[in-house]
Amino acid sequence: MPADSLLLEDIPQDRHVPGDLAMWCFILAELAVFGVFFLVYGYHRWRDPALFSHGQQQLHLLLPTLNTLLLLAGSAAIVAAVRAFALNRQRSGRRWLMSTMLAGGGFLVLKAIELGGKFAAGITLSSGDFWMFYLSLTVFHFLHVVLGMVIVAAVWWQARDGRYAGAAIDGVETAAAYWHMVDLVWIVLFALIYVAR
């Protein structure tokens, strides 16, 4: 078993906030908003499980499953980017940031295809409670992926100019924290909307 084991390695005593504290306040606010959204969804599902189950049966799992894998790959890539910059491996760090953006771009394309199919089938916010939640939650999350890509792109651009060469890498950690928040929300959303039927 390697010293850096999956879950049980020793945790140093000097704790620090990964990235900018202001970003973490923003992340906690975002989680609160999504949390309320999820709980309201749960309440409505509890009241009318047949309606929600019927709607979920009409969702195909291929695209959302691929999208989950893409977001997880993006998260893994940005973890690698943080480590690369911490080791002052600039080129490697920039490549991992680019990988995160590619994964995010793939997510957006697949999500646009999925949503386009629903709109083409005449599904709107007025098509019932389930579809109202489905469209609201997935589009709201979609916008967060877009924002995450903008943040990662900004960090990548700064990294090209040597912003993180042998210096503090708060910006990279901050972008990573936001990207992981987007991933965390999708993990719950994927289970709730698509899989738990």
User: How many residues does this entry show for the chain?
Assistant: 197
Rank residues 41 and 130 by Cβ distance to another protein and give the closer one. 41
Cβ burial of 108 (10 Å; 0-12, 13-18, 19+) is: middle
What's the distance, CA 197 to chain centroid? 22
- Cβ 165 to another protein, closest distance in Å? 13
Identify the CA nearest to 72 among candidates 195, 179, 192.
179
User: Which listed residue (26, 50, 82, 111) binds another protein by CB under 8 A?
Assistant: 82
Q: Phi first, then psi: give them for residue 185, nearest 5 degrees.
A: -65, -40
Task: For residues 136 and 159, give the distance between their C-alpha atoms in angstroms, rounded to a whole number.
Answer: 35
Rank residues 69 and 154 by Cβ distance to another protein and give the closer one. 69
162 forms part of the interface with another protein (CB under 8 A): no
33 forms part of the interface with another protein (CB under 8 A): no
Q: Check if the beta carbon of residue 75 is closer than 8 Å to that of residue 183.
A: yes
Q: Phi first, then psi: give them for residue 49, nearest 5 degrees.
A: -65, -30
Span of 27-35, 109-117, 121-129, 150-158 interacting with another protein by CB under 8 A: 27-35
Task: For residues 25 and 48, give the distance between their C-alpha atoms in angstroms, rounded to a whole number.
Answer: 35
Task: For residues 80 and 161, give the distance between their C-alpha atoms in angstroms, rounded to a whole number.
Answer: 20
Span of 46-54, 104-112, 120-128, 130-138 interacting with another protein by CB under 8 A: 46-54
Span of 80-88, 104-112, 118-126, 130-138 interacting with another protein by CB under 8 A: 80-88
Rank residues 91 and 122 by Cβ distance to another protein and give the closer one. 91
What's the distance, CA 108 to chain centroid? 11
How many chain residues are in contact with another protein, going by CB under 8 A? 60
The contact set with another protein (CB under 8 A) reads 2, 4-7, 11-12, 15-18, 24, 28, 31-32, 35, 38-39, 41-43, 45-46, 49, 53, 61, 65, 68-69, 72-73, 75-76, 79-80, 82-83, 85-87, 167-170, 173, 176-177, 180-181, 183-184, 187-188, 190-192, 194-197
